[in-house]
Amino acid sequence: MGIRRIVLASGSPRRRDLISLLGLPFVIKAVDVDELALDGEPPDELVRRLSRAKARAIVAVRADEVVVAADTVVAVNGQVLGKPADADDAARMLQLLRGRDHHVYSGICVWHPPSGRMVTELSDSRVWMRPYTDEEIARYIDSGDPLDKSGAYAIQHPAFDPVARVEGCGLGVMGLPLCYLGRALAQFGVRVPESMPGACRAFNQRECRVPAELVR
């Protein structure tokens, strides 16, 4: 399709850093989409729907560009934990997650408006949190970091370091599962560098446990 550049439909610094690992040209166009779940909407369907909505919000695209959009949520027993409303809400979420497992879903959408072609992928990572203390929660909240994060935490935060183990894509927990994105981009003739899996592991600082066919 002659795709030469990616349009990242996100203003997130984390997603900007992650997509840069692909070594492909990209530009950023932030979008504003209502992220509220529909009544009874499962978390995996929510992130797929929102990733598509974010992608479709970008319409001024050249023929040699594709739009990449993503949405990520934290879910405990099917209950979605969004971004905390305030410090007390962040503390509640972190206490709920402490010492237990949950799922992080990331929906990826690649959209080519000129042709109308769209591909969607879903990353489902199971995450186990360590038994951090109330004092650690308070210090983390004082840093301000959890207030704009789904589930009130960032897996990559060096001081809090809340995650004990991940089964699945660690970058999906950060908000942009590059292995799944690479598979979607391949359907538009965009080949990611062979060095991408190594760059992913180096950035994530964790072993990759996604299906082997995604990272070949």
Give all domains of the chain, ordered by start, each with its CATH number: 5-214 (3.90.950.10)
How does DSSP classify residue 44?
H
Concatenate the DSSP letters of all residues of 147-209 into one string: GGSGGG--TT-TTT--EEEEES-HHHHHT--HHHHHHHHHTTTPPPPTTHHHHHHHHHTS---
What per-residue confidence (pLDDT) applies to 216? 45
In contact, 12 and 172? CB cutoff 8 Å: no
Angle between helix 13-20 and helix 178-186 axes, rounded to 10 deg:
60
How does DSSP classify residue 206?
S
How does DSSP classify residue 124?
E
**Rounded to whole angstroms, how far apart are CA atoms 150 and 147?**
8
What per-residue confidence (pLDDT) applies to 200? 73
pTM above 0.85, yes or no: yes
What per-residue confidence (pLDDT) applies to 36? 86
User: Which amino acid, residue 149?
Assistant: K
What per-residue confidence (pLDDT) applies to 27? 97
Residue 20 half-sphere exposure, CB side, CA atoms within 13 Å? 8
Cα–Cα separations (whole angstroms), residue 132 to 96, 128, 137, 146, 179: 11, 12, 7, 15, 30
Closest CA to 208 of 176, 177, 175, 163: 177
Q: pLDDT averaged over consecutive 10-residue blocks of the chain (216 residues)? A: 92 92 93 90 96 94 96 93 95 98 97 96 96 98 94 94 93 92 94 73 64 50
User: Which amino acid, residue 9?
Assistant: A
Tell me whether residue 145 is one of the annotated catalytic residues: no
**Rounded to whole angstroms, how far apart are CA atoms 141 and 162?**
13
Q: Where are the beta strands (DSSP E) in the chain?
A: 5-8, 26-28, 65-76, 79-81, 101-112, 117-129, 163-167
What per-residue confidence (pLDDT) applies to 71? 95
What per-residue confidence (pLDDT) applies to 28? 96
**Rounded to whole angstroms, how far apart are CA atoms 106 and 179?**
12
Question: Which of 64, 71, 124, 142 does the annotation list as catalytic?
Answer: 71
